[in-house]
Structure 1
Amino acid sequence: MAVVPPGASSKFRPPKPVGQWVPRTRLTDVLRADSGWRLALIHAPAGFGKSTLAAQWMDLLASQGRTTVWLSLDRDDNNTVWFLSHLLEAIGRAKAGFDDELQQLLEERPDDAERYVIPALINAIDEGGQDVVIALDDWHLVTDKRTLNVTERLLDAGGTHLSFIITSRTRSGLPLGRLMVRNQLVEVDAVSLRFDQAESQSFLVDLNRLDLGGEDVASLYRTTEGWIAALQLVSLSLRDHSEASAFIERLSGGHQSIGEYLAENVFNTLEPDVLNFLLTSSVPERLCAGLASALSGVEQGQSMLEQVQARDLFLQPLDEDGTWYRYHHLFEGYLRRRLDRDYPGRVRELHLTAAHWYSDNGFPSDAVDHALAAGDIDFAVEIVESRAMWLVEHSSMATLLALVGKIPADRVPGQARLQMAIAWANTLLHLAAEAQGALDQAETVMPSDATLSDDDRFELGVESLVVQSCIDMYGDNVSRIGELDEKCFAQAGRLRPWIVSVGANLSTFKKIHDGQYELGLEQQLWANRFHDQVSGPFSNVYGHCFAGLAAYALLDMDQVEKQFALAVELGRRHAGRHSHAARLAGAMMGQLLYERGALDKAERLLEETHELGSEGGVVDFMISTFATLARIKELRGDSSKAAEILDEGDAVADSLGLSRLKLVINLERVQLGLKSRTFQPGLAPVPVVHGTPGQRLEGLAETSYQIFLTTQIRSALADAAPADGTTPEHLATVEKARYLLDRAAAYTGPRAELHARILLAAALQQAGLHSEAEETLLPALNTCCRLDLVRPVLDGGVACSELVRSISEELRLGTANYDYHPNLGSFLSLLIRLDLNTAVNGGTSRGLSGGRQQHGGPRRASVPEPALSQREQTILLLIDKGRSNREIALELHLGINTVKWYLKNLFSSLGVSGRQACVDEARRRDLLKQA
């Protein structure tokens, strides 16, 4: 039977009494008497009952109707992402419906997780309206400044519904001064934690049933000074002493000497097998039956654990099922010292045994800790390597990098497999420089890595090519991807499915931009069996998106819709609605919905992808996000927002060196009637000769060249006046449009041909060649009618709108002398109605024709910038800094409801529905600079 990880039980449950606890009524009354506390801090050395008191307090608070959350800390919580992940899981276990998608955000945005997670956490608790108490046990184990700052922020700004109980051996790392000034601190120290004489009596006589008189109890109380651990040792020792009074009389000295003496006294009464079990099982922080058996050599590990617990030998259960246990810290320390003293050679051996057990049972972090404690760095590296790609495939890149961070820095560069995993993690985090550095290092050390077999070197060599091609693909470069056919796919049986799955996606991407769409679809059909063997969703989502892009180029719209829908569903089901994978797929589905006229749904999906910014996937995804979302904003009548989205896309293109994206942004500016920014794509000039497409440019260069030609044609149409007769300028534009259509038909497939045909029809109409324009446009209209695509025609501009009306009139009058789709008449009526609605609602009647409004049609509505007050501007800045509603209220001395009112007004003014969208929109409008 599989062992449940410690993180799934012991971290999230308070300790339970083996029998009964001494009620700490006088201390629970302290908590009950102070209703305004934010932090209840229990601090004392080991053995004073800190966790026990915290557990009793949590029971009391739960009985009052508060939601209680328990988190036992360990040294791994010094990694802030892990601390936040554990905290979110703990809250989720106690509070149904808590936002699980914050966990995925932690993995995908580890560097600035606090900015997104902390405000969302504070707001969720604040708006839930129910008091939540979080207990952090063993706070002294956390020393990382970033984690300390997170907790400090939660304490400072958590609001009236959030409070903490913290146990620690020290008072450090907490904002005690500020909490004390605000009268929000309850503090219990070692002096308060000691048993008083009545509690000592209850513990020794009532609970442990020792036959002691009042004088004996008083003597023990004076000797131990109420130190709970010492009293527990006394109770064990006295069970076998007939002369209790004489034994008590001999006790003297400080706490440490008492502890050592009593521990020795208890040990001397133990059977050898029990003593061996205690010593060998003291090495790990937590124990279960399988681990205890591995360490001690006792087959019946569970039975021995239960026997030790029944004898009150300081073994505490950590879950209700009795699966995980831990020794009392004081007793654990003594056991380890004795083990090291009596059997110094066994300590390393036991750490290695624990490391192997943890590794075999899926606990890599614990396994690495024990391997390093044993001094076996090679095994620690092996553990991380064995887990690394599973984490990559499940989009847990931050967890992987945190595990790598445990390995001594000087040992990481020499490990080829580990460097490859680091390269994968950084590639998927869109950190190209870090990915390239790790990949280069892997390739450097690969020949000299003695741990690699010939098969390993073969696989790593192919994997290196796949990673490099993946880095290149994010940079819109496909020059090396062609090598995969021979080096990867021909020998797929020798490779892990992940390598082949990602490699197939890369190859499909290249085939799409080589115009080999059918081959791209065949590649994905072939790759499906490898996609299905990969445990995480990421590569499968990309596969569906790329298959959809190939089908889109062929105008196989049923296949397009199927593939994009599968991608969205897969991303959401495996990683959450707001996961990276789901939002990338949403960009593709948003593009399809836009072209079919479902603007509201398209806008919602594209807004979600827009939040990814420079992490928005390959260029094709970014084109859908920036260009299509800008068009939608224009159709809403908000030209300012459309322009700002394009400016943002332009900045992303510059920062990442994406020339194809920059070309598209330039084209969209022309289509929106904005001033175009001069940009030459760096392509050699190609003579424009109608009747022949000329030579196809290689790979992405052909796509880029056609975008560039489209921009020139759109710009010419925008600058030229409608012709009374055909002028040389009009003819030059028409010839360039004919040439574009030739190239699109020859090299880039039916979808590109459709758009080029619509553009040629617009050029012919503007040149006064009406009959030829109708003849040219009609096949495109039939295609759009058949496929239910409305935006390609509407975005064709004023000239296309004129052609739609004239053809519609001919159909109405029965004067059309050409073949047409039986539903074309109703389709044209729909286009005319949509075009008119756009004008009425503040868009443009020219669709998105490119350039200025021509010959008296309705003009674009003017959308003034919102007039923000100084207070609203200040709140915008605080939101941008990641402040929660509660923190904003405290900083500005406002009520929480007042802050919410301001936010509602801001969202309304900026036309957004969320905090981050509000900041993004304000930045695009330069409103943040006003504050």
Structure 2
Amino acid sequence: MLLTTKFLRPTSDPRAVWRERLCRLLQPGSSKRLNLVVAPAGFGKTTLVSQWCTQQGTSTAWLSLDDHDDEPRRFWQYIVGAFEHSGMAGLETCRQQLSHCSVQELEGPITGLINALAEDGSQWSLVLDDFHLIRDTDIQRQFSYFVDYLPPGVTLTLASRTEPPLPLARWRVRQWVADIHPGLLAFSEEECRHFFRETMGLKVSEQEIHKICRKTEGWVAAMQLSALSGVSRSTGDSALPITVDVDERRINDYVLSEVLDQQPEAIRDFLLSTACCPKLCAPLCDAVRGTSNSQAMLEQLLKQNLFLIPLDTRNHWFRYHDLFRDALLQRAWVDSPDMAEQHWQRAVSWLLSHNHVQEGIAQIVRQRDWSWLARVLAEHGNNLIHGGYHLPVLNWLDSLPADMVEDNPQLQMLRIWSLFFANRVDMLEPLLSTLEDVLDQQVADSHPDAEGALGLQSEISLIRSYLARTRSDDKSANDLTRQVLKDIDHTRIPLKSVTYYGIGLDYYGKGDLPSAREALRSAIHYGELERKPNTVLSSGGLLAWIQYNRGDIDDALETCTSVRRWVDQHYSDPAQPRLISCWQNSALTEIYRERNEPELATSHLTPLMEHVNNGTEPGQHVIIQYVRGHLAFSEGRFEEAIEALEDAATVARRRHDHILFEPPACSALLVRCYLADGRLQQAERWAQSVTDEHFSNPLNREQNQISIARVMVAAGRPADAIAILAPLRLSAEEDQHFRHLVEILTVYSEALYVEGKIPEADQMLSQAVHRASDAGFMRLFAEESPNVRQRLLELPALRAPSRWNSSLLAMLRAIGDGSKSPEPAKDRAKRPAGTSVALTEPLSQREKEVLVLINEGLANKDIASRMKVAPATIKAHIRNLYGKMGVSRRTEALAKARELALLE
């Protein structure tokens, strides 16, 4: 039960100042997605947004948040409730999903909400008041996903006391955010009067208000300075006029003379000694100052409103207003440069030792202390790279003097790893050779760090093993990897996780799924010990992919959940893009597609598409396009599927030397799309051109053979298909490739049906159903031919009461075109050729030509070229053809044409 009062917009206080200028800033824009109104309590955030809502001509939903809403399911239930309360329809399914799905599966209903907003097409505004009460990191990540994929015309407005930990920097670059922060709230003279008399509680005369407003030009930060100074200099019931020029130098002087110098000595010393901190907390300030009372000092500053901005709602982390901090730093370095240097060093040391490495490095780079930066990168660089920060590490290395890197083998190795993870593998060979020469020289000279040289040799071998995989040199890759594993216990460098991941890739490439599974479990185990989140995610993702292909869907989901939980627990930063793994998101896309949950599948595919659009390494590109194509194929979007799979196959062929493993068999899935889209001749040409020599991975070889068998069945050669499938069935069962086994049994049954061996075919199909039920496969059957789907609807094995049976039958019935089997060829032959009694109007000669070319498997542009007409003309012919035949896509048109003997 939801509290409907939380959806009611507060009534504006008649005493509140009308902020017309700020209301205009909140108006929706062409690219805007988010209004961010951030200010301390009492700054009129709710009043401002409420006033703005009264001007809106769009549909507006309001939600007042409270402490109880800091729970993912409840938060999103109230979001959906806010839209429904404001009159939006079509959210019933989304609301039902929220009531029963797990926290890990909430992206499904969130995707449903995004889709519903897109389908609604209206201009919507959603206001979330008191967003600072939302501290749950799962909600923050989910909300980031929600904002990332909002449809056009939807604007969110957040009113918060603190800036939320969302990827705001990225959104600002994209011009999605309109910020209204205290430093930007410039007041008119009337607003200035309200500010002094109501907000600050000062009795200021009209003359003084006019002068201060004119001098500050309505800049609220300067007016705060004026007000603080006015308090200290006021006499009686009025304040003395303050002259403040909106100029950084003068504002600095003013801060120093009228604010800092007016403070008690203890406050002044605290401000100057902690100005070196980019952000503040009590332990950090204590370390810098050598005291133990910093928490009380911070709370005193907050109470006095001395430009201390909270970064959370627990009064733990703060930062100074930038202008205020700049003035403090200027005074600190001028008054006592040695003490300022000491404070700065203590602050950076504390940040580095308390897992705030990036903030610490940023301060070192700002001071240009290159020798300290080199030491920090040598100590922390490896973990930063494996934590997903290889590009910043590369930038920091580039900022160092060249000779400092050349003389340091460890820094050279960091550059190699950074380039490797950035997929700039073409640059690695000369760098590896140079590093090997340096290490050989150190060993020859009995260098003090000879043990470190041995560790770097192991890293070099590991890099070379991955490069060998790009050349399909599996033997060298395997030998190098196992040598690293043999030597690894004698080094100080944590490499076991990455090494076991390489071994897992090797076993996966050979089709040895049980051995790959064990190696990847070791990679996850050591990755957690070595604190390498990227390796943990990639190893867990590939493990889940393997578990899925083995038929262990529940185990695959558990692997993804546990790995995600560990990464989010140890490496969660909602202000940064969420670490994702191509393998894991692809596995989840496949799993939820197979379980007939397309919205959840899409929610995991969508972040991957950003990588495709922005450019990613070729192996990942192929995997992503493969799962995208498979999802489109499952949903009957054959043109989109063909486009994605043809792109994947092209990249796999052209960039073969840059891919560390053999990606999924895109061409095998592509031929299924050709068959489903009625392009039999194109599918036959593919079957004749592809041989087993194209594949080293047994999984891909099996998929290739299954697709060839499908082509033979479609071409009326069931015996040839059975000759392929019979031995393939045995090998798939022996190798525990259970998903392929279900597919083999299904295609085998179809071949038997074509041969007229109905009892044997039913038995074979029943075995496929039994295997699929055990594993949880479902969508696999919806992808089969109409004939197989009809046989499944009539199969006795599916009449037994079970949840899986009921779900499968419901899905098959919902498909629609599987309710009737194609007319056998022998019955069609009894009718005169060209019979068209079922057509609303006879086909024209040109339409018949187009139909024949569609049957040949040609795309629209190829048909236009063959007929020497414009593509738009072909589209018009196809549109007319579909209308006359009463169909909506190619497969239906060809089935209807064969039924009416139009192609004979």
TM range (shorter): 0.5 to 0.7
Higher RCO, 1 vs 2 (CA within 8 Å, ≥6 residues apart) = 1
AA of the residue aligned to 1:663: S
**1:409-457 CA deviation, whole Å, 9 max, x = no partner?**
45597687677678777877xx63x366479757755765999955554
1:487 is the counterpart of 2:489 = no
* CA distance in 1: counterparts of 2:133 and 2:305, whole angstroms: 35
Deviations 1:550-573 (A, max 9, x none): 5666x6x4xx13321213433665
Do the aligned partners of residues 419 and 844 (structure 1) sit closer, same or farther apart at CA in structure 2, a change above 3 Å counting? farther
Which of 632, 635, 638 is residue 634 of structure 2 equivalent to?
Answer: 632
Aligned partner (choices 18, 25, 31) of residue 19 of structure 2: 31
Report which stretch shifted further, 465-474 or 285-294: 465-474
Corresponding residue pairs, total: 697
Q: Secondary structure at the match of 1:625?
A: helix
Match of 1:164 among 163, 169, 180: 180
Letter in 2 for 1:841: G
Q: 1:519-544: CA deviations, max 9, x gaps?
A: 33443455563355365766555545
Q: What residue number does 2:669 align with? A: 665
**2:367 pairs with 1:360:** no
Change (3 A) 1:318 1:477: same
Q: 1:734 to 1:338 in 2, by over 3 A?
A: closer
Query: Normalized against structure 1, the TM-score is what?
Result: 0.55
Using the TM superposition, give the Cα deviation of residue 671 of structure 1 relative to its aligned residue in structure 2, in angstroms.
Answer: 4.5
Q: Name the SS for the 2:368 alignment partner.
A: coil
2:514 aligns with one of 510, 513, 518: 518
From 40, 43, 46, give the equivalent of 1:56. Answer: 43
Provide the rounded CA distance (Å) in 2 between the counterparts of 1:329 and 1:579: 27
Whether contact under 8 Å (1:633, 1:641) holds in the other structure is: no
Distance 1:587 1:473, change over 3 A: farther
Cα drift, residue 167 of structure 1: 2.6
Kindly report which structure 2 residues correspond to 1:380-459, keeping only aligned pairs within 5 A, or say none. 380=373, 382-383=375-376, 397=388, 401=391, 405=395, 409=399, 432=423, 434=424, 437=427, 441=431, 444-445=434-435, 448=438, 453-454=449-450, 456-459=452-455
Q: Which one-letter code corresponds to 1:565 in the other structure?
A: L
Match of residue 369 from structure 1: 362
CA contact (8 A) 1:91 1:98 kept: no
Q: How does 1:186-225 map to 2 (within 5 A)?
A: 188=187
Between stretches 788-797 and 598-607, larger displacement belongs to 788-797
Q: Name the SS for the 2:683 alignment partner.
A: coil
Alpha-carbon separation, structure 1, partners of 2:591 and 2:320:
60
Per-residue CA shift, 1:210-240, capped at 9, x if unaligned? xxxx9xx99x99999998747856876899x
The aligned residue for residue 892 of structure 1 is none
CA distance in 1, matches of 2:633, 2:129: 41
- Verify: 1:283 aligned to 2:276, yes or no: yes
* Aligned CA distance change for structure 1 residues 299 and 602 (closer, same or farther; 3 Å): closer
- 8 Å Cα contact 2:510-2:696 kept in structure 1: yes
**Structure 2 vs 1, CA of residues 581 and 781 (structure 1 numbering), >3 Å: closer, same or farther?**
farther
Q: Report the alpha carbon displacement of residue 401 of structure 1 after superposing the two structures with TM.
A: 3.6
> For 1:463 and 1:121, how far apart are their aligned partners in 2?
46
Q: Distance in 1 between matches of 2:525 and 2:482?
A: 19
Q: Is the 8 A contact 1:583 1:605 kept in 2?
A: no
Q: Which amino acid counterpart does residue 564 of structure 1 have in structure 2?
A: A
Judge conservation of contact 1:489–1:500 (CA < 8 Å) in 2. Answer: yes
Whole-Å separation in 2 of the counterparts to 1:551 and 1:259: 62
Quote how far apart the aligned CAs of 1:339 are.
Answer: 3.7
**Quick check: 2:749–2:761 contact (8 Å CA) kept in 1?**
yes
Cα distance in 1 between the residues matched to 2:800 and 2:202: 93
Partner of residue 150, structure 2? 120
Q: Does the CA contact (< 8 Å) of 2:496 and 2:523 recur in 1?
A: yes
- AA matched with 1:354: A
**Hey, what does 1:566 align to over in structure 2?**
558
1:464 to partner: Cα distance? 5.2
Q: Aligned partners of 1:602 and 1:313: how far apart in 2?
A: 51
CA distance 1:643–1:58, shift in 2 (3 Å): closer
Equivalent position of 1:601 in the other structure? 597
Structure 1 residues 699 and 327: CA distance shift in structure 2, 3 A: closer
Per-residue Cα deviation, 1:181-237 (whole angstroms, up to 9, x for no partner): xxxxx9548x999899x9699999979xxxxxx9xx99x999999987478568768
Equivalent residues of 1:667, 1:710 under 8 A apart? no
How far the C-alpha of 1:119 sits from its partner, in A, is: 6.1
Counterpart pick for 1:503 among 493, 499, 502:
499
Per the TM alignment, residue 739 of structure 1 is displaced from its structure 2 partner at its CA by: 6.5
Does 2:801 match 1:785?
no
The residue identity in structure 2 corresponding to 1:370 is Q
- The one-letter code matched in structure 2 to 1:38 is L
Q: For residues 547 and 379 of structure 1, do their structure 2 counterparts lie closer, same or farther at Cα, with a shift above 3 Å needed?
A: same
- Cα distance in 2 for partners of 1:56, 1:802 equals 66
1:263-314 CA distance string (max 9 Å, x none):
579999999887765543333354444333443444544566678889x895
Aligned counterparts, 1:126-275, within 5 A? 126=156, 132-133=158-159, 150-151=174-175, 153-155=176-178, 164-165=180-181, 167=183, 188=187, 229=225
**Unpaired segments ≥5 residues, structure 2:** 1-12, 29-36, 54-61, 66-125, 217-221, 569-573, 657-661, 830-837, 840-886, 890-904
Tell which deviates more after alignment, 27-36 or 283-292. 27-36
The CA deviation at 1:358 is 2.1
Q: Which residue is 1:884 aligned to?
A: none
Is 2:79 the partner of 1:94?
Answer: no
Task: Name the SS for the 2:17 alignment partner.
Answer: helix
Q: Name 2:683's counterpart in structure 1.
A: 676
Partners of 1:671 and 1:31 in 2: CA distance: 63
Q: Provide closer, same or farther for how the CA distance between residues 393 and 369 of structure 1 changes in structure 2, counting only shifts above 3 A.
A: closer
- The counterpart of 1:715, out of the listed 711, 714, 726, is 711
Distance in 2 separating the partners of 1:202 and 1:787: 68
RMSD (Å) for aligned C-alpha atoms: 6.9
CA distance in 2, matches of 1:274, 1:783: 77
8 Å Cα contact 1:586-1:609 kept in structure 2: yes
In the alignment, structure 1 residue 700 sits paired with structure 2 residue 696: yes
Is this contact kept in 2: 1:650–1:662, CA < 8 A?
yes
> What is the match of residue 95 of structure 2?
none
2:497 aligned partner, one-letter code? S
Distance in 1 (alpha carbons) for counterparts of 2:745 and 2:261? 95
- In 1, distance between residues paired with 2:501 and 2:356? 32
Distance 2:200 2:130 in 1: 36
Q: Secondary structure at the match of 2:554?
A: helix
Rounded Cα–Cα distance in structure 2 between residues aligned with 1:802 and 1:63: 58
Instruction: State which of 363, 372, 379 in structure 2 corresponds to 1:379.
Output: 372
Change (3 A) 1:550 1:200: closer
> Given residue 368 of structure 2, which amino acid in structure 1 is its aligned partner?
G
TM-score norm. by structure 2 comes to 0.56
What are the Cα deviations for residues 880-899 of structure 1, in whole angstroms up to 9, with x where unaligned? xxxxxxxxxxxxxxxxxxxx
Instruction: Please name the residue that 1:351 is paired with.
Output: 344
- d(CA) in 1 for partners of 2:651, 2:252: 64
In the alignment, the residues of structure 2 paired with residue 585 and residue 523 of structure 1 have an alpha-carbon distance, to the nearest angstrom, of 17
Change (3 A) 1:660 1:548: closer
Between the aligned partners of 1:763 and 1:620, the Cα distance in structure 2 is 31
Conserved 8 A contact 1:372-1:380: yes
Larger gyration radius, structure 1 or structure 2? 1
Structure 2 CA distance for aligned equivalents of residues 252 and 601 of structure 1? 62
